[in-house]
Amino acid sequence: MENFELVILLLDATLRTSTPLILAALAGMFSERSGTINLALEGMMLGGAFSAAAVAFYMDDPWIGLLAAIATTIALSLLHGFACITHKGNQVVSGMAINILMSGLTALVGIALFAQGGKTPALDKAARFQPITLPGAEAVKDVPIIGPIYFELLSGHNILVYIAFLAVPAAWWVMYRTRFGLRLRAVGENPGAVDTAGIGVVAMRYRAVICSGVLVGMSGAYLSTAQGASFLQDMTAGKGYIALAAMVFGKWRPFPALAACLLFGFLDAAATRLQGVILPGIGEVPVQLVQALPYVLTVILLAGFIGRAIPPKALGRPYVKER
């Protein structure tokens, strides 16, 4: 029973840690399925986190903060699009540039606005997303098995967690069941086919990166106004890259990407709890190993040792009609 509790609690933490990954991985998916590599997830997440915290602080409302985050990440997506889609620049370079730029800019603006070494001031309750108790959670709280699962694991998260998990089937539906999704996937596979079908390639790709921006904005806002209570310099600490890895690991598809995010989130939650803890019989587990696992697993996947990850055909290639 004790162990069951522990597992539930670990899974509970997994949901919290995987939420930003899920949103960002879906963001990456929208962009990359349309043919635009999005290494800028990290930087966009950071930008979103900063805007959300700063605006939520001033307005005392997390929703306005969320909107600000999304506005910021859409702007960054448009910048990425401007470089890669309009000017046919190198997508990897543009992504790296945005990451570096945002790492500096968020801190710089943070110092200018709040003079707290790049942090934003701590947000009080009203300015953050608060946990939501699902209906009936209190009632079943003490029922064995179901109680912990419903009360501890499923209930009591903030709205963004639920949004992230609902975003996965939603993304799947959009991607595979709508005209927009069909065109988006087509433009990432063969933009020529889309063009000759009378659909604008550039517009289609812009729409895709905008979707990407919306999602990654939420992920950033989650970090600073839901999971945390302020923005900190470089607070994403590589989560954007982990999300990218999860997307690759999920072979650019929503549900497998969700699974990868949960796995990576679980590893993160486990690593956090294992720090400095001596496990009976095993001794101290090197946390660094657990922390490196997502990257190692992704490399192994990319190497084709556990199935092949086949990227969209036109990924990374700007659409050039006339040489």
Partner 1 sequence: MSTTVQLPRWIDVGALPLLNLLLALAVSGLVVLAIGENPVEVVEILLYGAFGYEEAWGYTLYYTTNFVFTGLAFAVAFHCGLFNIGAEGQAYVGGLGVTLAALYLDFLPFPIMLVIGMLAAMVFGAAWAYIPAYLQARRGSHVVITTIMFNFIASSLMVYLLVNVLRPDGSMTPESEQIAENLRLPFIHDMAAALGIEMASSPLNLSFVYAIVASVMVWLFIWHTRWGYAIRTVGSNAVAATYAGLEPGRYIIIAMMISGALASFMALNEVMGVQHRLLIDFTAGYGFVGIAVALMGRNHPFGIFLAALLFGMLYQGGAELSFEIPTISNDMVVVIQGLVILFTGAMEHMFRPRVTKIYTAWRLRRDAQEAA
Partner 2 sequence: MHQMHGTGETGAVQPAIELRGIDKRFGAVHANKEIDLKVDKGTIHGIVGENGAGKSTLMSILYGFYQADAGTIHVDGKLCEIKGSEDAISAGIGMVHQHFMLVETFSVLENVILGVEGGAVLRDGVDRAREELRRLEREYSLDIDPDAIVGDLSVGLQQRVEILKALFRGAEILILDEPTGVLTPQEADHLFRILETLKEQGKTVVLITHKLREIMAATDNVSVMRQGAMVAHRKTAETSPEELSELMVGRKVLLRLEKGDANPAATVLNVENLCVDNAQGVRKVKNATFNVRAGEIVGIAGVSGNGQSELLEVLGGIRSATEGSVELNGQDITPGKGIDAAELRRRGVAHVPEDRHRMAMVTAFSAKEAAILGYQDDPAYQKSVFLDWPAISKATANMMAEFDVRPDNPDLKAANFSGGNQQKLVLAREIMRDPELLLVGQPTRGVDIGAIEFIHKRIVAMRDAGKAVLLVSVELDEIMSLADRILVMCDGAIIGEVAASEANERVLGLMMAGVDPNEAKAVEGQA
Partner 3 sequence: YAGVASAAEIKPAVVYDLGGRFDRSFNQGAYNGAEKYKADTGTEYRDFEIQNDSQREQAMRNFARRGMNPIVAIGFSQASALEKVAKEFPETKFTIVDMVVDLPNVQSVVFKEHEGSFLVGVLAAMASKTEKVGFVGGMDIPLIRKFACGYVQGVKYADPNAEVFQNMTGTTGAAWNDPVKGGELAKSQFDRGADVVYHAAGGTGVGVLQAAADAGKLGIGVDSNQNALHPGSVLTSMLKRVDVAVYEAFGAAAGDSWKPGLTILGLAEGGVDWALDENNEKLITPEMKDAVAKAKEAITSGSLAVHDYMSDSACPM
Ligand X SMILES: Nc1ncnc2c1ncn2[C@@H]1O[C@H](COP(=O)(O)OP(=O)(O)OP(=O)(O)O)[C@@H](O)[C@H]1O
- Contact residues toward ligand X (CB under 6 A) are 179-180, 183, 198, 321-323
Cα separations in angstroms, 132 against 160, 170, 194, 205, 227: 10, 21, 43, 36, 13
> Taking CB under 8 A as the rule, does residue 116 contact partner 3?
yes
Which of the choices ligand X, partner 2, partner 3, none does residue 185 contact, using the CB cut-off of 5 to 8 A by kind? partner 2
- H-helix or E-strand spanning residue 256: helix 254-274
| Burial tier of 235 (Cβ tally within 10 Å: 0-12, 13-18, 19+) | buried
3-state secondary structure of 88: coil
> Taking CB under 8 A as the rule, does residue 323 contact partner 2?
yes
> Taking CB under 8 A as the rule, does residue 269 contact partner 3?
yes
| Burial tier of 139 (Cβ tally within 10 Å: 0-12, 13-18, 19+) | exposed
272, 12 in Cβ contact below 8 A?
no
Q: Which two tokens stand for residue 264?
A: 């990576």
In angstroms, rounded to a whole number, what is the distance separating the alpha carbons of residues 64 and 69? 9
| Smallest separation (angstroms) from partner 3 to the CB of 156 | 10
The footprint of partner 3 on residues 56-75 (CB under 8 A) is: none
> In terms of C-beta distances under 8 Å and separation of at least 24 residues, what long-range contacts does 274-281 make, across chains too?
none
In angstroms, rounded to a whole number, what is the distance separating the alpha carbons of residues 223 and 231? 8
| Smallest separation (angstroms) from partner 2 to the CB of 194 | 7
3-state secondary structure of 203: helix
Pattern 261-300, binding to partner 2, x per CB under 8 A? ----------------------------------------
Give strand pairing partners of 283: 279
Taken in order 154, 159, 164, 170, the sign of the CA dihedral is: positive
In angstroms, rounded to a whole number, what is the distance separating the alpha carbons of residues 259 and 247? 10
Residue nearer to ligand X on the CB measure, 82 or 180: 180
Which span sits near partner 3 by CB under 8 A: 30-38, 76-84, 225-233, 255-263? 225-233
Which of the choices partner 1, partner 2, ligand X, none does residue 164 contact, using the CB cut-off of 5 to 8 A by kind? none
Binding site for partner 1 (CB under 8 A): 37, 39, 79, 82-84, 87-94, 96-105, 107-109, 111-112, 115, 118, 233, 238, 241, 244-245, 248, 286, 288-289, 291-292, 295-296, 298-299, 302-304, 311
The footprint of partner 2 on residues 160-179 (CB under 8 A) is: 177-179
| Smallest separation (angstroms) from ligand X to the CB of 211 | 11
| Smallest separation (angstroms) from partner 2 to the CB of 20 | 30
Which of the choices partner 3, partner 2, partner 1, none does residue 194 contact, using the CB cut-off of 5 to 8 A by kind? partner 2
Residue nearer to partner 3 on the CB measure, 196 or 288: 288
DSSP 297-318: HHHHHHTTSSS-----TTTT--
* Interface positions with partner 2 (CB under 8 A): 177-183, 185-186, 189-190, 192-200, 313, 321-323
* Interface positions with partner 3 (CB under 8 A): 5-6, 9, 12-13, 16-17, 116-119, 122, 125, 130-131, 152, 223, 227-230, 232-233, 235, 237, 269, 272-273, 275-277, 287-288
